[in-house]
Chain A
Amino acid sequence: MSRLEQMFAYARANHPRSVRGMEEALAKDPELFTEVAEKFGGWAAGVHGDEGWAPVCVDAYVNFSNDVIMAQARYEADGHYENSSFAECEASVYADREVMDEYLWGVFLTNFLWSHHMELSRVFRDRFARKIVANASVVEIAPGHGGWGVWLLSERPDARLQAFDISPSSIAIASSIAKSAGVADRASYERRNALDLSALPAGEADACLCSFLIEHLEEPEKLVEVMAHLLKPGGKAWLTGALTAAQIDHIYEFRKESELVLMAEKYGFRVLETMSVAPLRTLPKARFVPRSMGLLLQKRTTELG
């Protein structure tokens, strides 16, 4: 049985309400879905075992996705995100190792089980990972589960990755996935606050990626500033963020795509490409369309270059 078949079989038996969305994602782009499912499923199997990975990851995915839908429903009712400070999120999510472990394995599968995130995944693979310079030194800020950076390394055997995350769960899980994927010799994971990375030497990275951190920050501009600090002039960045998309630990409410674009330009980036994607289905009569945005950026070499 393939990883994809294992995943669907487990979901059909245990989470029938979640299968429709998974099938819609598969139908939207069967080739990419299958490729990513086999790849990510294989890495997870290397960590949890051939029989164990689907229960761990699918249960976590279903719980995470339901939490997100519930948070979005509350957001629709209240008009604002539930939490507004890092301290609140730390108390309810980040400081609890068990909660964080499940959270990260749940997010891991959203790269393809959320059909709109699969669109981002394609751009990430084709327009960023495959296009960065040869022998690139890559920094990943807040890798979370680590899947994005490991995917880049699997696409680019010449690249090296330095990753930093404040969460011990992230360091453990991302390291385990890197090992499972056979890229651990080119990846390092260090526990460190993303916003402290301005203490690192400036302008040494060829590429930088940061996926879905910015909406978790009280001062998101600082993240973009750090990315610009780390990159060489001309270096490429992949930045993703969530707009009007509630989650228990989303605290900065981006409402328009231009907010992220302007932030990138303010800190010296040329915006090469952007995409804004939304789920195939939203809550009935929704005021807020939850969107995810991907930005392909290049650090300017001159003020307007």
Chain B
Amino acid sequence: MADTLSKLQDVFRDVFEDDDLVITRATTAAQVSAWDSVMHVTLMMAAERAFKLRFKSGEVTGLKNVGELVDLVDRRLGG
């Protein structure tokens, strides 16, 4: 799980072009100013590439925070 969060932090920094961005399981869109619906999909596509996964739209639409994304990735990876 820690590895997933760490890898996701790289994904977030790349997508939002912010090398200082720090995420935790509690991070939400409200705390990352550019994280809107378009960037959410961009983020999910980048996460797919990083973890070699393919999400269904319904899986990622309702994610409320980074922790739920970590759990989704771990679940899909069988962790």
Contact = CB atoms under 8 A, between A and B. Distances in A.
Interface of A: 16-21, 62-63, 65-67, 69-73, 77, 281-284
Interface of B: 28-30, 35-38, 40-42, 44-45, 57-58, 60-61
Contact of B29 (A17, A21, A65, A67): A17
B29 to A, nearest CB: 5
Contact of B36 (A21, A70, A77): A21
B45 A66 contact: no
B31 to A, nearest CB: 11
A73 B40 contact: no
B37 A17 contact: yes
A16 B30 contact: yes
Contact of A70 (B28, B29, B35, B57): B57
A62 B41 CA distance: 13
B42 A17 contact: no
A69 B37 CA distance: 8
Q: Tell me whether chain B's interface is mostly helix, strand or loop, or mixed.
A: helix
13 contacts: A16-B30, A17-B35, A17-B36, A18-B37, A21-B37, A21-B38, A63-B58, A66-B40, A66-B41, A69-B40, A70-B41, A70-B57, A282-B38
A52 B78 CA distance: 38
A73 B36 contact: no
Contacts of B40: 17, 66, 69
A21 B57 CA distance: 19
Contacts of B58: 63
A283 B29 contact: no
Given A21-B38, A63-B58, A67-B57, 15 more contacts: A16-B29, A16-B30, A17-B36, A17-B40, A18-B36, A20-B36, A20-B37, A21-B37, A66-B37, A66-B41, A66-B57, A69-B38, A69-B40, A70-B44, A73-B41
A281 B38 CA distance: 8
Nearest to A74: B45
Contacts of A73: 41-42, 45
